[in-house]
Amino acid sequence: MTWDVHHLPRADGRTVLVTGANAGIGYFVAQQLAGAGATVVLGCRSRAKAEAAMTAIRETHPEASLRFLPLDLGDLSALETDSLGTHLDAVVLNAGVLIEGQDPDDQAFAVNHLGHFALTALLAPHLSPGARIVTTGSFVAKTAKFSAHEHDGKRAYARSKLAQMLFGFELARRGVFSVVNHPGGALDSLTPPHRGGLQPQRLLLQGKDSGAWPAVRCVLDPDVRSGQLWGPRLFGLRGVPREEPVRGILADTELAAAVWEQSVELTGLDPSAALLRRQ
Ligand SMILES: NC(=O)c1ccc[n+]([C@@H]2O[C@H](COP(=O)([O-])OP(=O)(O)OC[C@H]3O[C@@H](n4cnc5c(N)ncnc54)[C@H](OP(=O)(O)O)[C@@H]3O)[C@@H](O)[C@H]2O)c1
């Protein structure tokens, strides 16, 4: 199927939860899915920010069907999934933090990886059969290592993204419809601050609206298969989404299984067991 990021297939009647939908790439994922007719649930830790995002989406899509789910990936104890009130056809695990300062390793791992790992298990009763779990990774994960405790914020971030991507592929191996995507290099808050008017990285990278394209395709394209990796076409940094080979550390099944077991131990939850019980 030819994929046109500006003419998406209709998604009326489908409901998609997007984590971190109030800003950045998550905002544009929500906007593009809402424009295609999906009901979008914005999973955000700030109601005010989610409402501002919903107002902005309605400026371009006045008919958008939007809802808010209070969600803090750093503390899921207050999560009220019953307020969802409907089954989800897809979940985009998009929210992410890059922590500079004390304990970047524990914090980035807890929010980016463990938060989404636990959320997936907690959402199990609310997922439609065959619902897609779409995990957002990063190209920096390909060079990440788990060797020692990490004190550098960027390396800790890369390690947390690797854990997320290994989770997405392992979830697929365990029989759940799970796809991994990465946005390439999308300018703004997780990228270096702009200096002056000249932004040479604009030539190589892209805006967050385009960074949303791979995740949107993973939700909507009927030809996307579980276990696949999708990213931008040009050097994996920018452009329209295409499928990428899963290789190197991303294809390390022993590492993925070890990260999975450790995550079960740390969260007390097992997403694949919870999801497969439902099928
Ligand atoms: N930008 C890039 O170049 C790039 C490259 C590769 C991968 N990625 C990945 O793409 C995703 C989105 O990145 P982005 O650049 O759009 O980031 P961003 O602009 O910084 O937005 C991050 C989003 O995550 C939310 N979030 C942070 N901590 C949270 C928590 N504890 N609970 C719930 N939500 C939380 C933020 O909400 P608040 O507003 O409340 O903080 C915000 O909505 C991330 O997973 C990132 O790792 C980005």
**CA 94–ligand 1 middle distance (angstroms):** 7
Residue 62 CB-half CA count within 13 A? 0
pTM, 2 dp = 0.94
Query: Residue holding tokens 């999560």?
Result: 79
Q: Which has the closest alpha carbon to 67: 80, 79, 54, 55?
A: 54
Q: Which of 46, 57, 94 has the most ligand 1 atoms within 8 A of CB, as the residue to mutate? A: 94
pLDDT for 188-243, tens place per residue? 544 443 334 445 555 566 788 899 999 999 999 999 999 999 999 877 778 899 99
pLDDT for 49-104, tens place per residue? 999 999 999 999 999 999 999 999 999 999 999 888 889 999 999 999 998 877 76
Q: Tell me, what amino acid is at 271? A: P
Cα angle vertex 234, ends 231, 30, to 5°?
40
**CA 200–ligand 1 middle distance (angstroms):** 23
pLDDT for 116-164, tens place per residue? 999 999 999 999 999 999 999 999 999 898 877 777 888 899 999 999 9
Q: What's phi and psi for 44, nearest 5 deg? A: -140, 155
Closest residue to atom 33 of ligand 1, CA basis: 72
**CA 95–ligand 1 middle distance (angstroms):** 4
Examine the residue annotation and report whether 157 is marked as an active-site residue of this protein: yes
Closest residue to atom 47 of ligand 1, CA basis: 96
- Catalytic residue among 157, 167, 169, 177, which? 157
Query: Residue holding tokens 């999708």?
Result: 230
CB 152 within 8 A of CB 167: no
